[in-house]
Amino acid sequence: MQLQISLDTSFDDRTASSWSRKERQKWFLSLLCGTCLIYATRTSVPLLIPVVSQEKNWSKSDSGIILSSFFWGYTLTQVASGYISDKIGGQRVLWISALGWSATTFLMPEIIEYFSGDGTSILLVAAVRMINGAFQGMHFPSMISLISQRLHEAERASFFSLLTSGSALGTLLTGSLGSYLLENYNWMTVFRALGGMSLAWTALLSYHTLPFKEKTASIKSTTDYTLPWSKLLSQPPFWSCVIGHACQNNCFFVLLSWMPTYFHDTFPEIRGWIVNMVPWLSMLPCTFLGKALSEEIIKAGYSVTVTRKTIQTICFVIEIGSLLFLAKVESFENAILCLALIIGGSGFHNNAIAVNPSDLAPKHSGSVFGLMNTVGAIPGFLGVYFSGHILHVTHSWPAVFLFIAVIDALGCIMYLLFGSGQAII
């Protein structure tokens, strides 16, 4: 089965019109800012859910529904947005995405307050959260498609892995500014501040992309764009990448969603900004370390396959070991250290499986990343909801950490057996 589409711009033409050095710097800063803000808005709900749930009398299961609903929407738009980005240009899809998640974040206080007295308030708030997730699901596929269209193959993995460090910056922004606003004002102010900043970035992005659109429109070529789905879906390296990404995402998304609640329940005397900032300080240096290690391994003469497997295994080993230790710790300092190591592990993931679609399918990276991230987002709603259910039934955080560790181990084995850094389509 092959999917053929008539495009306005061929892949070769788009590659020929690569960014200049100045354009590359400009787009890097813009995309880094956007990735920072998208994670700041994404992590605002986990930060605020303990306070809002207490005010609105929501149970752990109710909180789990709202936290997991984001990922229902997140899975819906991944493949389509990557596919359309490969077709019409990632910058257009990126702007539509930004407008949607910025606006829904800014309006979230009104939505929660308006429906708070209704018996169906949980489902309605979850529905809006799902819409927010659907818009956010368009961000990374459109971004990796844009990078593939405008950078040479040798530059893409490094460029994208550095951009993913924006997720740590965004979480730090929520942990610092969000915690300050929550302690000194109220939870509504957090939504409005982060949503307002995101809307301002969206306006800047619109202005920023105007010359880029004109440049794209100036390229006149028609060719067939062939996306060989059947060949892609029959390749074990693709599925090992997808499953490994899903297993690592299960760890990341569950902790991203439930970490504030864990500290709120286990160490209630600790100030919120410490909990919401300190663990995330490890991701940025680990991302740079993973990038440097990848470059050194390749320079030493090893293949891209060996490089990706080595870096991803480091990620999984760090996460599994820290989760097993976290299940037994009793002090706040040790808990913070474990979570910092786990989140730091994600920095290595950003230099391995996260950039693997560019290795496996250089000409179709937006579509392939979208499909990978669709499956990878499933733990976002299943894992997050199931963790809430475990807590509701067992009242045991160690049970949640052991559940995450087992899933991580399965992903590590699968990627070691079948992962690859060679092009398959």
pLDDT in tens, 289-312: 999 999 999 999 999 999 999 999
Q: How many CB atoms sit inside 10 A of residue 382's CB?
A: 17
Phi and psi torsions of 7, nearest 5°: -105, 155
Query: In this structure, what token pair is assigned to residue 330?
Result: 């009793």
What single DSSP character describes residue 355?
G
Residues 82, 142: contact at Cβ < 8 Å?
A: yes
Listed range (95-99, 142-146, 217-221) with the worst mean pLDDT: 217-221
- Tally the C-alpha atoms within 13 A of residue 304's C-alpha that lie toward its C-beta: 17
Q: How far apart are CA 329 and CA 334, in angstroms?
A: 6
H or E element: which one contains 236? Answer: helix 236-266
Output the pLDDT for position 6: 35
Grade residue 161 by pLDDT with cuts at 50, 70 and 90: confident
Task: Tell the residue number behind the tokens 């230790």, with chain if given.
Answer: 325
Mean pLDDT, the chain, rounded, equals: 87
CB 290 within 8 A of CB 284: no
At 364, is the pLDDT very low, low, confident or very high (cuts 50, 70, 90)?
confident
The closest of 81, 2, 61, 171 to 391, measured between CA atoms, is: 61
Percent of the chain with pLDDT over 90: 57
Torsion of CA 203, 185, 121, 262, to 10 degrees: 100
What is the pLDDT at residue 11? 42
Q: So what's the pLDDT on residue 219?
A: 42
Record the pTM.
Answer: 0.81
**Taking residues 58-87, what's their average pLDDT?**
88
Does residue 7 surpass a pLDDT of 80?
no
User: Looking at per-residue confidence, does 121 or 141 come out higher?
Assistant: 141
pLDDT number for residue 375 = 86
CB 169 within 8 A of CB 284: yes
Residue 220 has pLDDT above 50, yes or no: no
> With pLDDT > 70 as the criterion, what percentage of the chain qualifies?
90
pLDDT tens-digit series, residues 307-343: 999 999 999 999 999 999 999 999 999 999 999 999 9
Residue 121 has pLDDT above 90, yes or no: no
Query: How many CA atoms lie less than 13 Å away from 84 in the CB half-sphere?
Result: 14
| Beta pairing partners, 223 | 7
pLDDT confidence of 367, banded at 50, 70, 90? confident
Q: List, in order of start, the domains of the chain with CATH numbers.
A: 7-220+228-418 (1.20.1250.20)
DSSP 151: S
Q: Higher pLDDT residue, 64 or 133?
A: 133
CB neighbours of 307 closer than 8 A, spacing ≥ 6? 294, 297, 298, 421
Residues 6+ apart with CB under 8 A from 412: 244, 247, 312, 313, 316, 317, 320
So what's the pLDDT on residue 302?
A: 96
Supply the DSSP string of 378-396, one letter for each residue: HHHHHHHHHHHHHHHHH--
DSSP element (H, E) containing 153: helix 153-163
How far apart, in Å, are the Cα atoms of 251 and each of 188, 271, 425?
28, 24, 30
Q: Which amino acid is at 78?
A: Q
In the chain, how long is the greatest CA-to-CA distance? Answer: 64
The average pLDDT across 339-366 equals 91
CA distance 56 to 285: 39
pLDDT single digits (tens) 74-91: 989 998 998 898 888 888
**What is the pLDDT averaged over residues 37-49?**
94
Which has the minimum average pLDDT: 6-10, 179-183, 283-287, 363-367? 6-10
> Are the C-beta atoms of residues 66 and 372 closer than 8 Å to each other?
no
Q: Is the pLDDT of residue 111 over 60?
A: yes
Tell me which DSSP letter residue 7 carries. Answer: E
Instruction: Measure the CA–CA gap between 9 and 220, rounded to whole angstroms.
Output: 7
- 339, 259 Cβ separation under 8 angstroms: yes
Confidence bin at 227 (pLDDT 50/70/90): confident
Give me the mean pLDDT over the 390-417 stretch: 95
Q: How far apart are CA 420 and CA 425, in angstroms?
A: 13
The pLDDT of residue 210 is 54
